[in-house]
Amino acid sequence: MPDDAPDDALTAIADELYALPLDDFTSERNARAKEVRAEDRGLAQRVSKLTKPSAAAWTVNMFVRHRRDQFDQLLQLGETLRRAQDDLDSETMRTLGAQRRKLIGALGREAASVGADLGHRVSGGAIEEVEQTLQAALADPDAAAAVGTGRLVRSLTSTGFESVDLSGALAGGDSTTPTTRTRRASSSSDSDDAERAERERARERAAARDALEEAQQRADDAEAELSGLDKRLEQSERRRTRIDEERRELEQRLAELEDDLATLDRETRRLRGTRDDAARELDDARTAVDDAEKRMRDLR
């Protein structure tokens, strides 16, 4: 039997197990280990040690298996971003960076939807891990190869400055990724060195791309904030002008009312004096009437 036959057998079993609903994993794994124990105790032991995936890793596995075309779309975007980085095309990188953020968010939601359809509701924290894993796959070809197997055990994280840590992340058979196996199989040390150098340059480009995208995002955020503040300032200035005009109108109206009050005060004083004069005349007239009536009585 070829030396890699046990790994192939383990990989085949792992492919089946990691395609199952999350809650069925442990019981099915134990059943498969028991099934192969009679023929290959070593394989049975390795099967029994297969780790149940985290909720986020299982969700990514289901997404890759059930939405492969969308996963390939993510990888294609990663290749396009790397080419733009090689060409130092900052405008294209800025556009693709925004597209990347939107796509990862959309794929994260789609992965959660796939998980829910398969009977496992994905929490908000797990969705964040799913998006981090998709970002790692986009940024690092080795991570992309690992995610593409659909046999992740844990979520992945990309810092943008070094290769993604894949230790303990992949279950079944040879856990090295295709690009790593290619380097190991190469018989030419010069070719190995050149490939390692290219990998290092790719990581540096990825780090520079992430740094540029982060700076561009900060610039976009600052520009949006400034635009919002400019609008608020303009609205505030317009409102202040309107209120100041209203204040001047009210002050003018107040001055007019004060003039009216002064006029009314003068008129009131004049009328009060006139009334007092009229009251005195009335008293005098009544006195004259009384005197006249008295004389008439005396003349009778």
Burial class (CB in 10 A: 0-12, 13-18, 19+), 17: buried
For residue 297, the surrounding DSSP H or E stretch is helix 189-298
| Better-predicted residue by pLDDT, 98 or 290 | 290
Backbone φ and ψ of 158, nearest 5°: -115, 125
pLDDT > 90 in the chain, percent: 40
Nearest CA to 133 among 116, 148, 123? 148
pLDDT at 174 over 60: no
Residue 58 pLDDT exceeds 50: yes
Whether residue 216 is predicted with pLDDT greater than 50 in this model: the reply is yes
Round to whole Å and give the CA distance between 146 and 143: 5
What pLDDT does 189 receive? Answer: 52
Q: Which residues pair with 152 in a beta bridge?
A: 170
Q: Quick count: other Cβ atoms within 10 Å of Cβ 184?
A: 10
Q: What is the pLDDT of residues 132-164, one digit of tens each?
A: 999 999 988 999 999 999 999 999 998 765 688
Q: Which residue has the higher pLDDT, 43 or 206?
A: 43
Q: What's the rounded mean pLDDT across residues 191-219?
A: 63
How high is the pLDDT of residue 180? Answer: 46
- Phi first, then psi, for residue 161 (nearest 5°) are -110, -10
- Among 11-25, 42-56, 134-148, 221-235, whose mean pLDDT is lowest? 221-235
Residue environment code for 265-293, b if the CB has 16+ CB neighbours within 10 A, otherwise e: eeeeeeeeeeeeeeeeeeeeeeeeeeeee
Q: Is the dihedral of CA 94, 97, 103, 106 positive or negative?
A: negative
Radius of gyration of the chain (CA): 44
DSSP result, 13-72: HHHHHTTS-GGGHHHHHHHHHHHHHTT-HHHHHHHHTPPPPPHHHHHHHHHHHH-HHHHH
Q: Is the pLDDT of residue 224 over 90?
A: no
pLDDT band at 214 (very low <50, low <70, confident <90, very high): low
Q: What is the pLDDT of residue 184?
A: 42
Q: What is the pLDDT of residue 124?
A: 87
Give residue 179's pLDDT band: very low, low, confident or very high (50, 70, 90): very low
Q: What is the rounded (10 degree) CA torsion for 19, 20, 21, 27?
A: -140
Other CB atoms within 10 A of residue 119 CB: 10
Mean of pLDDT over the chain: 83
Question: What's the pLDDT at 191?
Answer: 55
Q: Which residues of 36-48 are buried (b: 16+ CB within 10 A; e: fewer)?
A: beeeeeebbebbe
List, in order, residues 6 or more apart from 178 with CB less than 8 Å away: 145
Residue 177 has pLDDT above 50, yes or no: no
pTM (whole model) above 0.85: no
Note the pLDDT tens digit of each residue in 87-145: 666 676 677 777 888 899 999 999 999 999 998 888 889 999 999 999 999 988 999 99
Q: For 174-189, what is the mean pLDDT?
A: 45
